[in-house]
Amino acid sequence: MRIALVGIGKIALDQHVPALADSPDWDLAATVSRSGSVPGVDAFTDIDAMLKAHPDVGTVSLCLPPVPRFDAAVQVLRAGRHLMLEKPPGATLSEVHVLADLARAQGVTIFASWHSRMAHGVAAAKAWLAGKTVHKGRIIWREDIRKWHPGQDWILAAGGMGVFDPGINALSILTEILPAPVHLRTAELDVPANRQAPIAARLNLSQDITADLDFRQEGPQTWDIELQTDAGHLALRMGGNLLEVDGTRVDGQDSIMGEYPALYARMAGLVRDGASDLDLAPMVLVADAFTLGQRTTVDPFDF
């Protein structure tokens, strides 16, 4: 199947392009970007021009930042093409509901792709937790914004989500593996004096689960989820790629490179089945954090 990739930035070049190059399901036929491109692939700077030039492209994958994504997504769906959305699927919940209704009306697939759910240890963690009771848990998700988003001012602007851009990955795993739904109780958001989005956050969730999210960690990065249950202690490390039970490694790999190939395999299956997957549970928790969050102004931040 032929696919177009819109938004040729860091995440597209690091993850999407290699995943598509190795995929048995997809042929990358076109790209759309203001400045980026992929060697040997037809490049455009306008989505509408690409859609008109490539009626053979049945699917479009959007890797744009959240705020400009909606208008591009509407163009794709109105053209009758299947749509894959990089996380988060939109800047607001309401616009994603609009996209879901439009996809349904057009009879095409829409997929909100939570890449961390495809991490190597997640499925095994979900299976182990099935039928168990979670008594307590903690998420520690700390990484270096300058390493993963160098110079990307949009991520700390209104709509950019700030630390929830990576933090939503942890929440996507949590909402996938827990045997019972989770909801937000309280939140604290640290917002730099010269920015609009939080650079750090602390969440208190039901089931006595806490989350410590920070975009300022230098050196080794930390992406851990630990849950204490009635049958023992489960830990997912390295962003969900390593699973430990009672301190013993039982599943996973020392790599994050399998997530995007798995996403594109999932998208291929949805298109073939005429189905959609638009789970918004992780985004609901983030929206609730912005609604309930107690804001503290912290030191200005500059790249």
Domains of the chain: 2-112 (3.40.50.720), 116-254+287-298 (3.30.360.10)
Q: Which residue has the tokens 């492209």?
A: 57
In this prediction, residue 197 carries a pLDDT of 98
Q: Is there a catalytic annotation at residue 87?
A: yes
Interval 90-121: pLDDT, tens: 999 999 999 999 999 999 999 999 999 999 99
Alpha carbons 177 and 199: distance in angstroms, whole number: 26
Please state whether the predicted TM-score (pTM) of the whole model is above 0.85.
yes
> From the centroid of its chain, how far is CA 218?
22
Alpha carbons 110 and 59: distance in angstroms, whole number: 10
pLDDT confidence bin for 253, thresholds 50/70/90: confident
Q: Average pLDDT, whole number, for the chain?
A: 96
Spatial CB neighbours of 291, under 8 Å, sequence gap ≥ 6: none
In this prediction, residue 185 carries a pLDDT of 98
pLDDT at 195 over 90: yes
Interval 42-56: pLDDT, tens: 999 999 999 999 999
Interval 21-38: pLDDT, tens: 999 999 999 999 998 999
pLDDT at 252 over 90: no
Q: 211 vs 61, 168, 169, 259, CA distance in Å?
A: 30, 11, 12, 23
pLDDT confidence bin for 251, thresholds 50/70/90: confident
Position 295, amino acid: R
> How many CB atoms within 10 Å of residue 57?
22
Interval 121-158: pLDDT, tens: 999 999 999 999 999 999 999 999 999 999 999 999 99
In this prediction, residue 77 carries a pLDDT of 98
User: CA nearest 59: which of 84, 90, 40, 31?
Assistant: 84
In this prediction, residue 60 carries a pLDDT of 98
pLDDT at 82 over 90: yes
Active-site hit among 87, 132, 136, 147: 87
Q: 173 vs 65, 107, 121, 191, CA distance in Å?
A: 21, 29, 10, 25
Q: 9 vs 13, 62, 192, 204, CA distance in Å?
A: 6, 11, 25, 33
